[in-house]
Structure 1
């Protein structure tokens, strides 16, 4: 019975969110600042990242430097 109530509540939420989107054309936004506000600077917190992570970090660093020239 609790499952049925929960299912109905979720269905109503999505229905109302859909109706709100149709009328206002506004999407649900994320939190203000995301993880930066709680002190998480990066996803990978390893002291020595794996090879794939180092490559991704280097590519991101190079892409960021290109925009500042």
Structure 2
């Protein structure tokens, strides 16, 4: 039970820190554009690296 509470506390502190950063003017957290969705030849319409790799929009 102690381990669960410690894990919950760490998670809540992390989320609280992220929220505090956004409230103080930092940009919101963004997802990355990597991974299996952006491999060469795959449909990756939302990827900003698409044009850099020579694919059509």
Give the alignment's TM-score, normalised by structure 1. Answer: 0.48
Question: Unpaired segments of 5 or more residues in structure 2?
Answer: 44-57
Aligned residues: 41
Q: What is the alpha-carbon distance in structure 2 between the residues aligned to residue 40 and residue 2 of structure 1? A: 45
4+ residue stretches of structure 1 with deviation over 4 A? none
Question: Unpaired segments of 5 or more residues in structure 1?
Answer: 43-69
Matched, 1:36 2:38: yes
- Larger RCO (CA within 8 A; separation ≥ 6): 2
Q: Cα RMSD between the aligned structures?
A: 2.3
Question: Structure 1 residues 40 and 31 mapped into 2: Cα distance closer, same or farther (>3 Å)?
Answer: farther
Give the alignment's TM-score, normalised by structure 2. Answer: 0.56
